[in-house]
Amino acid sequence: MDGTSDTTDRTLHDDLVDEFLHAAPRGPRLWAVASVDEERAASFATDLSTTLGARGIAAATIAAGDVSADALRADVTGPFRARGEDAVLLVTGGPGALDEQHRVLWHFSVWLLAGDETPHTAASALVDVTDPSYPTRRFGDYCAVPPTWRS
C-alpha cells in the first residue's frame, strides 16, 4: 500500500457523479452536458461516462446538436426512457440544451465554462474548464460571475 487513500484520488468527475446518483439513483437517467463549445461538452461527457462505467453503471454519450426539444424527445430521450434500462445517457450540446424547452428533459445538467464565459444559471452544476486538466466547480452566485463583470 502506498499510503494514499481513495479520497485523495477523487476527481471533480467523481463528485459530480455522486451528486447525480444521489438525485437519480436508478432507472433510465438523462444528464445534459452543455457549453458554448460543443467539442468541450463531448469530451467532458466522455470523461463522466468513464467515471460512471468505473462504478459499474452503464453509460453512453450522444451529441444532440441544435434540435428542438420535441425532436430530441421523439428521437433520443423518449426511446431511451422506454427501454427502461438502469443506465445513464449523457446528452451533449450547446447553450440550447439548457433552454426552457430542453431543461425539463434532464435529471441533471452541467454547464462548462472557461475564462470569462458567462455561467448558465439553469444548470445543476457549473464547471470551470479554463484548465481542462483541472476542472473546478463554480457556484451560481456572485463568485461565479466572470472577473471582468465586477468592474
What's the rounded mean pLDDT across residues 136-147? 70
- What is the per-residue pLDDT for 139? 86
Number of domains composing the chain:
1
pLDDT greater than 90 at residue 141: no
* Per-residue pLDDT band at 119 (split at 50, 70, 90): confident
Is position 4 within any domain? no
Mean per-residue pLDDT, 62-82: 94
| Mean pLDDT estimate for the chain | 89
- Tell me if 45 is assigned to some domain: yes
Give the contacts of 71 (CB within 8 A, at least 6 positions apart): none
- How much is the pLDDT for 31? 98
CATH of the domain at 62: 3.40.50
Render pLDDT for 1-10 as a digit per residue (tens, 0 to 9): 344 334 457 8
Looking at residue 146, what is its pLDDT? 59
- The domain in which residue 108 lies consists of 12-150
Residue 149 has pLDDT above 80, yes or no: no
Q: Give a yes or no: residue 119 inside a domain.
A: yes
Residue 7, in any domain of the structure: no
User: pTM of the predicted model, to two decimals?
Assistant: 0.86
Q: Is residue 60 part of a domain?
A: yes
Q: Please report whether residue 3 resides in a domain.
A: no
Q: Looking at the predicted structure, is the pLDDT value of residue 35 above 50? A: yes
* 139 domain residue, yes or no: yes
Asked if residue 5 belongs to a domain, the reply is no
* pLDDT at residue 66 is higher than 80: yes
